[in-house]
């Protein structure tokens, strides 16, 4: 059961194209998995369409409606609908199906350190970094915070931290006021977005801060 969702403000920005591609991808993926948020997106899209229609109708003024319709229907091109073919990846011997929203995006080769593996998603968004992050069974990310924000969208598997337990579809958005230690018993695959490196906050793990950007 999905318990963590994007706020309505994010959903509204998503419907108007006001989010970076990385966050838009995350909401698109979440809505594939969450019928509640998909219904909210549909409602917000309809509201936005009604507003745009009313504004357009007002601006049309005395435009010849027949001419406008003729211009719209004057193109005989037919859009070909491509079959949605599932794409799978294999990490540490386990197979995962990629969400539709990111399966065609360019990704780097997998790199690993301990129980963590990461493949960067190439969206060219400057300081915003998107990745697929895999944590092997029994793995963890040491206690950390972030200098900016951290979005974790759980694609498959489960993990827990000091704030709760998370299942596939959960949308977890944190900022630098949060500290947590994600731990997974059976392994998990996540889509992550962050606009700065993670910062380890406890004991000897602070020595890992120079490589904090590896994970996010």
Instruction: Give 94's contacts (C-beta < 8 A, 6+ positions apart).
Output: 187
State whether 54 and 134 are in the same domain: no
Q: What is the pLDDT of residues 126-147, one digit of tens each?
A: 989 999 999 999 999 888 787 7
Which residue is listed with tokens 């936005």? 48
Within-domain flag for 80: no
Q: What does the H/E/C string look like for the chain?
A: CCCCCCCHHHHHHHHCCCCCHHHHHHHHHHHHHCHHHHHHHHHHHHHHHHHHHHHHHHHHCCCCHHHHHHHHHCCCCCCCCCCCCCCEEEECCEEEECCCCCCCCCECCCEEECCEEEEEEEEEECCEEEEEEEECCCCECCCEEECCCEEEEEEEECEEECCEEECCCCEEEECCCCCECCECCCCEEEEEEECCCEEECCHHHHHHHHHHHHHC
CA angle 193, 195, 196 (to 5 degrees): 115
State whether 68 and 164 are in the same domain: no
Q: What is the pLDDT of residues 52-91, one digit of tens each?
A: 776 665 555 555 666 666 666 676 666 666 667 889 999 9
State whether 61 and 152 are in the same domain: no
Q: What is the pLDDT of residues 110-129, one digit of tens each?
A: 999 889 999 999 999 998 99
State whether 47 and 139 are in the same domain: no
State whether 137 and 203 are in the same domain: yes
Task: Name the domain boundary from 51, 73, 95.
Answer: 73
pLDDT for position 199:
64
Within-domain flag for 29: yes
Within-domain flag for 171: yes
Tell me the pLDDT band of 42, cut-offs 50, 70 and 90: very high
The pTM (predicted TM-score) of the whole model is 0.81
Q: What is the pLDDT of residues 84-114, one digit of tens each?
A: 788 999 998 899 999 999 988 999 999 998 8
Within-domain flag for 142: yes
Within-domain flag for 124: yes
Q: Which of 19-23, 38-42, 110-114, 119-123 has the lowest mean pLDDT?
A: 110-114
pLDDT for position 185:
96
Q: Residue 53 class from Cβ within 10 Å (0-12 exposed, 13-18 middle, 19+ buried)?
A: exposed
State whether 123 and 54 are in the same domain: no
Average pLDDT value for residue range 159-163 = 93
State whether 204 and 124 are in the same domain: yes
Task: Name the domain boundary from 73, 90, 115.
Answer: 73
Tell me the pLDDT band of 198, cut-offs 50, 70 and 90: low
Average pLDDT over all residues of the chain: 85
Within-domain flag for 3: no
Residue 65: which domain range? 8-73
Task: Name the domain boundary from 28, 49, 73.
Answer: 73
Within-domain flag for 2: no
């Amino acid at each position: 059961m999905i318990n963590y969702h994007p706020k309505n403000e994010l959903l509204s920005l998503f419907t108007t194209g006001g989010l970076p591609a990385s966050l838009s991808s995350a909401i698109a993926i979440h809505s594939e998995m969450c019928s509640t948020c998909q219904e909210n997106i549909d409602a917000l899209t309809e509201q936005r369409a009604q507003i745009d229609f009313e504004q357009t109708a007002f601006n049309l003024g005395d435009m010849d409606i027949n001419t406008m319709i003729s211009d719209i229907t004057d193109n005989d091109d037919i859009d070909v609908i491509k079959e949605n073919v599932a794409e799978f990846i294999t990490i540490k011997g386990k197979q995962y199906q990629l969400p539709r929203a990111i399966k065609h995006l360019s990704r780097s080769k997998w790199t690993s350190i301990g129980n963590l593996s990461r493949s960067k998603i190439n969206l060219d968004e400057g300081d915003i970094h998107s990745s697929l992050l895999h944590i092997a069974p029994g793995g963890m990310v040491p206690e950390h915070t972030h200098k900016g924000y951290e979005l974790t969208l759980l694609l498959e598997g489960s993990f827990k931290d000091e704030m709760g337990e998370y299942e596939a579809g959960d949308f977890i958005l944190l900022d630098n006021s949060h500290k947590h230690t994600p731990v997974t018993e059976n392994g998990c695959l996540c889509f992550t977005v962050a606009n700065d490196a993670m910062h380890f906050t406890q004991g000897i793990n602070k020595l890992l801060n120079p490589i904090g950007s590896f994970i996010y």
